[in-house]
Amino acid sequence: LTPEQLDAQRKAKKEAKAAAKAKRAKELAAKKAKAGGGGGGGAKAKFTDDIGRCDIRVGKIVKAAAHEKPTLCTVEVECGLPQPISVVTGLTAAARGDMVTADDGRCVVLVNVGGGRVFTVTSGAGERATLRPPAGAKIGERVTFAGINDEPEQPVVNKKKLNKVLKALGTSAAGVAQYKELAFTTSAGPVKSSLVD
């Protein structure tokens, strides 16, 4: 081969290598964008409302135990995941037994937060109660809100956004759990509490 041919060969190899590298980078960027970002490389998911970020499910409390702080207790909740999740919740020892036996231990749990969170409501008098889904609701099914069809934020919900959601929770005069004016809803009907606003 002549020196010119060797140069042309080297140039062609260099160009092919650069093209392959650019193609890999483009594929990687497309993959990140499809997955919803990561490292600032893709578009962030948009949510209709902050409640759409939350993966709230119907759960079943299978075990409740004392916590080192007397105002808390630790519970294990089945919620459709491979293993029950452990949750520290603000219910006293007096309420612990009731958590497992009342309504067969059914509860509403936020899954995409470190360790999980069992939803409770507090009355003006400081009384606290667990939210109870209806008997026909399936363990592990997602609690829904009218007009909000977002996929939950993964792996965990943004803490600031979650705090905004928690401030907007309450119950109706009929005891239906609400986010703003939207009822916590399952396939078997609304989630309720023994406490009412």
Give tens-digit pLDDT for 81-115: 898 888 887 765 556 666 666 678 888 988 888 76
DSSP state for residue 31 in the 8-state scheme: H
Q: Decide: 75 and 63 in contact? Cβ < 8 Å.
A: yes
DSSP letter for each residue of 69-92: STT-EEEEEE-SSSSPEEEEES--
Beta bridge partners, 41, equal none
Average pLDDT over residues 64-77: 81
Q: How confident is the model at residue 39 (pLDDT cuts 50, 70, 90)?
A: very low
In the predicted model, is pLDDT for residue 176 greater than 90? yes
Average pLDDT over residues 56-84: 86
Backbone angles phi, psi at 12, to 5 degrees: -65, -40
Give the count of beta carbons closer than 10 Å to the beta carbon of residue 130.
Answer: 24
Among left, alpha and beta (phi > 0; psi -120 to 50; other), residue 36 is left
Average pLDDT over residues 188-193: 93
Q: How confident is the model at residue 131 (pLDDT cuts 50, 70, 90)?
A: confident
Average pLDDT over residues 145-156: 89
Pair of tokens at residue 51:
């409640």
Percent of the chain topping pLDDT 90: 24
Average pLDDT over residues 5-21: 80
The CA distance from 98 to 137, in Å, is 20
pTM of the model: 0.69
Average pLDDT over residues 145-173: 88
Q: How confident is the model at residue 28 (pLDDT cuts 50, 70, 90)?
A: confident
Cα angle value 44/50/52 (rounded, 5°): 80
The CA distance from 72 to 74, in Å, is 7
The CA distance from 193 to 176, in Å, is 6
